[in-house]
Structure 1
Amino acid sequence: MSDERASDVTGEPQQADDAAAEADGEPSDDEQFSIADFHDASQEAGRPVLTAAAVARAHEISQDAAREALESLQSRDELERLSVEADPVVWYPSELEDLTDRERVVVFPKRREIVVDRPDQFTRAQLSQFAHLADGNGEQGYRYVVRPEDVWQAPHDSFDDLARTMRQALGQRSDALEDWVESQWDRAHQFRLTTHEDGYTVLEAKSPEVMGNVARQKLDEEHVHAPISETEDWVREGSEAAIKRILYEAGYPVQDHRELEAGEDLQIDLEVSLRAYQRTWVDRFADAGEGVFVGPPGSGKTVAAMGAMAHVGGETLVLVPSRDLARQWAQTIEEYTSLEAHQIGQYHGGQKHVRPVTIATYQIAGMDRHRSLFDDREWGLVVFDECQHVPSDVYRRSTHLQSRHRLGLSASPIREDNRQTEIFTLVGPPIGTDWEALFDAGFVAEPELEIRYVPWGDEEQRNAYASADGQERYRIAAKNRGKVDEVRYLLSAHPDSKALVFVDYLEQGEDLAAALDVPFLSGETRHHERRRLLEEFRRDERDLLIVSRVGDEGIDLPTADLAIVASGLGGSRRQGTQRAGRTMRPAGGALVYVLATRGTREEDFARKQLQHLGRKGMTIREQTVERGDGGGSGGAGGGGDDDGEENDGNGETE
């Protein structure tokens, strides 16, 4: 029988099975069958209405025992029974009769899952402090999972404070879940890095046992010089990040209490009001001293980062993937803070100025001939924009820069190489708000996403696909010439929209640009021409651009209300997020169409790479395009992690 017993609801301790009852397959008197056990059986069967036989099978007890347990729940008004003509008696939760407008929270402590139907904003805010929103489809409820990393980064000073938040969110006390959370809380406070009075770094453990059985088993002379005591090791300079990563992966996150450089004081006043959730982000960053702001494009992560800069009040280094993004940061800082132009510098291929606030590209900051300029200056804060790049070999060197405060920004801190945990060990724990809450509050518009399955444009490409294999098949499907007609159709169906058409291949972008007689913005576009095109788009002087991967990150297109992804589905989930995110702005009414060649691997790629957006709360539809219907049949409406060259940051193919 499930471990999720009556204690989930009542808070009463669970007792061991009675041996005799266990032998008979019957629940003992002390082991009362609970509504949580019924929900377990319901989930296993995939339906909310069950027979006694179904409950018996799920919990491996006799049908008579199951019937008695169900009748007991009925006597407590937790179940209803219904005799169905020509069928057995069926049972269902009494709550099903009154779920129209009522919040309902069901806890599955054994799986550490929480399913919430119709949660209010308070409940969701509380849940976000210790649980991960795994499925945000509001029509089917919200499914939260409590992972170790969610407990490790919970914004609380003590476990008692965290437990209080859990009980407020769940509306009940779940001893089994709280016991597990407390064990993870303890793990997160076993190790810390401190600064010795002589200036070197020390790894401290809470006990000799955990130092000997964990740290000294995992670390070697590459990481530490020698023991100082039973609970202290002398850390080799420069190995701090590796130690944090190794112990994090072992299940023991390290608290970083080093006395790092604070930099020169710099008065920064924010001249714009933060939204409530942005203020929460900044407060959580202030408590931890580090973190990663995670939110959808358009949620104001950059402005929130400037709130963090104002809190720190020190000289700041901002690292970005491209010089275009560096210019945008410089303009935004000057616009939204009290800093003046002479206090803001940019350091990249176009210009090289180190000032109290400096925006540099990752590639430049990691180069040996430039590193000393950044190493020699004491920074109060280092900001890692688009920090999902940080684990890559190209960008990783920039994380060796030391600062008392570190802040990352990302719409989607996921990597196809599964190195995303390194983001949080190198920069800081995730800090964010669930996307659905921002959609509901109107801060960010939820775009309508539609996958459109497009037929082949000609038999030559279809035959080439059939005879190809591997990556070549994907390339042929992505460049299907039938997509040109589909793009024309969609643009004609939305004549008043400002549109972006995304492509993964330069040849395809050039073909579309020629067919539509519009510019193609790619990594080969000269920087001054790129800026001109983007400014024309922002000023409504241009309503259509074809964009390569250079548009996935680092280019702000705030007025786009239509995005067509003509190719790019074989890549990262992050790429799908970025492309959909180009339309996520408060104005609303945004449409995203993703084109996939029908009957090819692109179909599976499209579903897989956009699936995580569905879990974040977006509605995703699918439409099959029939040949000969004018290019479409109505409807409305993600390559691997590429860490590209400094001058465009795109990593385009061809």
Structure 2
Amino acid sequence: MLTLSFEDGTIRIDGAHADSVSKPDLDLPSIDYDPRSEAFRAPAYRYSDLIGALDEQSVDYTSRLSIPSLDLSSTYELREYQEAALAAWRENNDRGVLELPTGSGKTVIGIGAIEALSVPTLVVVPTIDLLDQWRRELCEEFAVPVGQLGGGEQRIENVTVSTYDSAYLRADDIGDRFGLVIFDEVHHLGGEGYRDIARLLAAPARMGLTATFERPDDAHEVVAELIGECVYRLAVDDLAGEHLAPYDIKRLTVSLTADERERYEHAQETFTDYLKRSNLTLRQGSDYQKLVMRSGTDPRAREALLAKQRARDIMMNADGKVDELTTILDRHRDDRIIVFAASTEFVYRLAERFLIPAITHHTGTTERREILDRFRDGTYSRVVTANVLDEGVDVPDANVGVVLAGSGSQREFTQRLGRILRPKTDGERALLYEIVTEETAEERISRRRR
């Protein structure tokens, strides 16, 4: 008879010996013998696989990881595509990632999973804003205390919401506490440290929620191993017009001024000349990291990097973009507008120029909530931000977005588009402007993100 227990982020298997026929002959290569405790061990996240292998091979065992049943019911009625997503996850043995656009109601699907399984559940989120949103929703839907790890609280209940940071710090303590774990914005789990959250939890049921699963560094493959593959995927266009607002994307180009062009070309030439002299090519991210490392000892490499940054600032923050934004704001004076810039400095420049509220990483939580509340009730009709509102914040309805600058990330572009796609009562179309500085590297960046 084998006995399974949780210890030090692993599943400890007692009752089997390395030198005897009672050693578990299981098709689970992650089982290792620990001579110090004279027991076999498996990573906590393989608990479900371990149980399945034991059952399949009719091995007698008892488990001390007992997961109680809860009485949980919700008033939410899932839309057809939400039901389909939940069904796909359940058919995959309650594991996997669901990829749906911003504004499609991923939280509702998560609540549906909690209700369906009715077991102790941990929800892991990247930001304090999402922590508050999830806890508020869970308190409204379920008649049980809701715990919180993060945001100044450290209280564990059968249903608990945690930030990624707090879950990482407490993973050893809560590893055997929950039967279901939901990772919101699950692409964050690909980070080196955050991966340990999923590794150290024994929860057999695992759900990942995201609008953009794949990562450019391929870390989504690690997420798939820890949570499950993407089992359901919908794009923006699959829902636009019925569950999300129909939309248009309008790409506008602006020119550099004569002075900006001269400074841009000079900076670009400084950068490219160094690459040629050093026989360097930048075909992938690791090549750029080599250049960064070289800049620590090579003054010319450092000057080249600084020149590249100057060129980027010129094209991203061109005066022509400010002029174009003036026209857009005047044209849409009766609309609710979110303006996305690339840098904090440019955000504040625009806020001062147009007298509109700004939200950056410097904006305190209380001030940010006040700005968004006033945007929601119509006191403010426009806000300007960098990347703070890309994800993890409940942004009120807007119907016009203006991307003045950004990275080449498809994730970033999709998230910014999603900020204006909540269904409109009158069925009006949302409109996203993308403003690009012509004859610069920004044209290539625009093509890459789209």
Describe how 1:502-513 pairs up with structure 2 within 5 A: 502-513=340-351
Describe how 1:571-590 pairs up with structure 2 within 5 A: 571-587=408-424, 588-590=428-430
1:351 to 129, 134, 153: 153
Q: Residue 551 of structure 1 aligns with which residue?
A: 389
Paired with 2:330 and 2:447, the residues of 1 have a C-alpha distance of 26
1:595 to 405, 416, 435: 435
What secondary structure sits across from 1:296 in the alignment? coil
Paired with 1:434 and 1:467, the residues of 2 have a C-alpha distance of 45
Q: Residue 221 of structure 2 aligns with which residue?
A: 421
Is the alpha carbon distance of 1:199 and 1:463 closer, same or farther for their aligned partners in structure 2, counting shifts above 3 Å?
A: farther
Deviation at residue 475 of structure 1 after TM alignment:
3.2
Question: Are 1:380 and 1:405, in contact at CA under 8 Å, matched by a contact in 2?
Answer: yes
Deviations 1:615-648 (A, max 9, x none): xxxxxxxxxxxxxxxxxxxxxxxxxxxxxxxxxx
Deviation at residue 373 of structure 1 after TM alignment:
4.0
What secondary structure sits across from 2:416 in the alignment? helix
Number of residue-to-residue matches in the alignment? 378
Q: Residue 219 of structure 1 aligns with which residue?
A: none
Describe how 1:312-461 pairs up with structure 2 within 5 A: 312-335=117-140, 337-339=141-143, 343-367=145-169, 370-375=170-175, 378-400=177-199, 401-435=201-235, 438-439=238-239, 442-456=242-256, 458-461=257-260
Paired with 1:299 and 1:373, the residues of 2 have a C-alpha distance of 34
Is the alpha carbon distance of 1:289 and 1:463 closer, same or farther for their aligned partners in structure 2, counting shifts above 3 Å?
A: same
Query: Does residue 441 of structure 2 align to residue 607 of structure 1?
Result: no
Deviations 1:388-424 (A, max 9, x none): 1111124222212220211100001021212222221
TM value normalised by structure 2: 0.76
Is the alpha carbon distance of 1:532 and 1:441 closer, same or farther for their aligned partners in structure 2, counting shifts above 3 Å?
A: closer
Deviations 1:510-555 (A, max 9, x none): 1011111112111111111111111222222221111121111111
Q: Residue 475 of structure 1 aligns with which residue?
A: 313
Describe how 1:14-413 pairs up with structure 2 within 5 A: 198=15, 204-205=26-27, 223-225=30-32, 236-238=41-43, 257=52, 261=65, 263-287=67-91, 288-335=93-140, 337-339=141-143, 343-367=145-169, 370-375=170-175, 378-400=177-199, 401-413=201-213
Deviations 1:431-479 (A, max 9, x none): 32433674366012232112221212x3333222112236423333112
* Structure 2 unaligned regions, length at least 5: 1-10, 18-22, 34-38, 54-62, 272-304
Counterpart residue type for residue 376 of structure 2: R
Deviation at residue 301 of structure 1 after TM alignment:
0.8
The one of the two structures with greater contact order (alpha-carbon pairs below 8 A, sep at least 6) is 2
Deviation at residue 225 of structure 1 after TM alignment:
2.7
Question: Are 1:381 and 1:404, in contact at CA under 8 Å, matched by a contact in 2?
Answer: yes
Paired with 1:195 and 1:451, the residues of 2 have a C-alpha distance of 58
Deviation at residue 345 of structure 1 after TM alignment:
2.4
Question: Are 1:262 and 1:404, in contact at CA under 8 Å, matched by a contact in 2?
Answer: no
Describe how 1:532-543 pairs up with structure 2 within 5 A: 532-543=370-381
Segment of structure 1 superposing worse, 347-356 or 539-548: 347-356
Counterpart residue type for residue 410 of structure 2: R
Deviations 1:217-273 (A, max 9, x none): xxxxxx5536xxxxxxx97433867x99xxxxxxxxx89837794633222212121
Is the alpha carbon distance of 1:255 and 1:302 closer, same or farther for their aligned partners in structure 2, counting shifts above 3 Å?
A: farther
What secondary structure sits across from 1:594 in the alignment? strand
Question: Are 2:44 and 2:202, in contact at CA under 8 Å, matched by a contact in 1?
Answer: no
**Bigger Rg, which one:** 1
Question: Are 2:69 and 2:118, in contact at CA under 8 Å, matched by a contact in 1?
Answer: yes
Question: Are 1:296 and 1:584, in contact at CA under 8 Å, matched by a contact in 2?
Answer: no
What secondary structure sits across from 1:409 in the alignment? strand
Is the alpha carbon distance of 1:394 and 1:492 closer, same or farther for their aligned partners in structure 2, counting shifts above 3 Å?
A: farther
Counterpart residue type for residue 361 of structure 1: T
Question: Are 1:453 and 1:603, in contact at CA under 8 Å, matched by a contact in 2?
Answer: no
Q: Residue 6 of structure 2 aligns with which residue?
A: none
Deviation at residue 332 of structure 1 after TM alignment:
2.0
Counterpart residue type for residue 606 of structure 1: S
Segment of structure 1 superposing worse, 404-413 or 428-437: 428-437
What is the RMSD of the two structures over their aligned residues, measured on CA atoms? 3.0
Question: Are 2:399 and 2:430, in contact at CA under 8 Å, matched by a contact in 1?
Answer: yes
Question: Are 1:260 and 1:402, in contact at CA under 8 Å, matched by a contact in 2?
Answer: no
Deviation at residue 383 of structure 1 after TM alignment:
0.6
Q: Residue 124 of structure 1 aligns with which residue?
A: none
Counterpart residue type for residue 585 of structure 1: R
Q: Residue 178 of structure 1 aligns with which residue?
A: none
Deviation at residue 599 of structure 1 after TM alignment:
0.8
What secondary structure sits across from 1:291 in the alignment? strand
Deviation at residue 204 of structure 1 after TM alignment:
4.1
Question: Are 1:564 and 1:595, in contact at CA under 8 Å, matched by a contact in 2?
Answer: yes
Aligned residues with identical type, % of pairs: 29
Deviation at residue 202 of structure 1 after TM alignment:
6.6
Is the alpha carbon distance of 1:455 and 1:199 closer, same or farther for their aligned partners in structure 2, counting shifts above 3 Å?
A: farther
Question: Are 1:446 and 1:584, in contact at CA under 8 Å, matched by a contact in 2?
Answer: yes
